[in-house]
Chains A and B, each alone.
Chain A
Amino acid sequence: MKSLAELKKIREEAANRINLRTAKNGYRVAVGMATCGITAGARPVLAKFVEMVSEKGLDNVTVTQVGCLGECALEPVVEVFDADGNRTTYAEVHVDDVATIVEQHLIGGKVVTDKTLEVIKKAK
């Protein structure tokens, strides 16, 4: 059974890790979390990103949430920003797609072309 006392220990370890972190060359992942995104399955997608980023030890990746991105019919929509602020928008991202985006884009640095909003829109 977990207790808040245990959290203190985890906190110390995390604080040390943050102090060691030098490079800020990471990605920011933003999952659309408005009514449209939520009904399409955005919540488990966000949870999966958090889980995988942690599992792979990607300390420089932050996972966050945004409101409606205006593509309600193609939700869940996920935006990935690189360190220079360049944006890649993915559409119809489901839990099964998260691993590919994490491995190929967040680790490998290569955009997953067939899941981009542009490509999916064109295919419709």
Chain B
Amino acid sequence: MIDLSLHILDVATNGFKAGATYVQIKIVEEENDIKIWITDNGCGMSKEVLSQVENPFYTSRTTRKVGLGIPLFKQTCLQTGGSFEITSKEKIGTTIYALMYTNHIDAIPLGDLAETIFVLMMNPYECDILADVTFKDENQKPFVIDTKEIKKILDGVPLSDNAIATWLKEYINEGLSK
């Protein structure tokens, strides 16, 4: 993965496979680090699965023998001296917490977060997405978008409608641009 926004997309889509109806992403950018929380209300994991999930040679899939999303994200954090934690409870959901130091030589850029949020919102599983971003520049207004709110406004018109999707993409871009 070349940037954090791709890790966020990758790990957040795990929630869809877990049957989540709500995935919440919180990003707090500070002077020397970025903190990320990704929480889903999917099926969660048992202790056995949880103990294996950071192992690249573990996957719940039967079509192949590796699962790289979580271990890659973890490595990205740890190589900057940061941390990475997963907590999960069966039938409740899973939360991932990632801390990456941005002033470390091995830190990777945040990347196109707008495109990540947009693509997540366009998921075909009817899963709602909340994104909450706080910037290191105190003068910049935090950006919050929640498809639950958006769907209320849309009142039955799908998010994926071409005109709606285009508008949302621009709205997210604007909200995140510095």
Bound complex: CA A9 to CA B112 (Å): 28
Query: B116 to A1, Cβ gap below 8 A?
Result: no
A contact patch SS: helix
A14 to chain B, nearest CB (A): 5
Task: Work out how many contacts link A and B, with CB atoms closer than 8 A.
Answer: 100
Query: A14 to B169, Cβ gap below 8 A?
Result: no
B46 to chain A, nearest CB (A): 22
Place the interface of chain A in its size category. 35 or more
Query: A54 to B157, Cβ gap below 8 A?
Result: no
CB neighbours (8 Å) of B170 from chain A are: 2
Question: Which residue of the partner chain B has the closest CB to A58?
Answer: B162
In the complex, 6 of the A-B residue pairs with CB atoms within 8 angstroms, ordered by the A residue number, are A4-B150, A7-B150, A17-B161, A38-B10, A43-B115, A54-B166
Give the A-binding residues of B (Cβ under 8 A).
Answer: 1, 6, 9-10, 13, 17, 61, 63-64, 67-69, 72, 112, 115-116, 118-119, 122-124, 149-150, 153-157, 160-167, 169-171, 174
Give the B-binding residues of A (Cβ under 8 A).
Answer: 1-2, 4, 6-8, 10-11, 13-15, 17-18, 33-35, 38-39, 43-44, 46-47, 50-51, 53-54, 57-59, 62-68, 70, 72
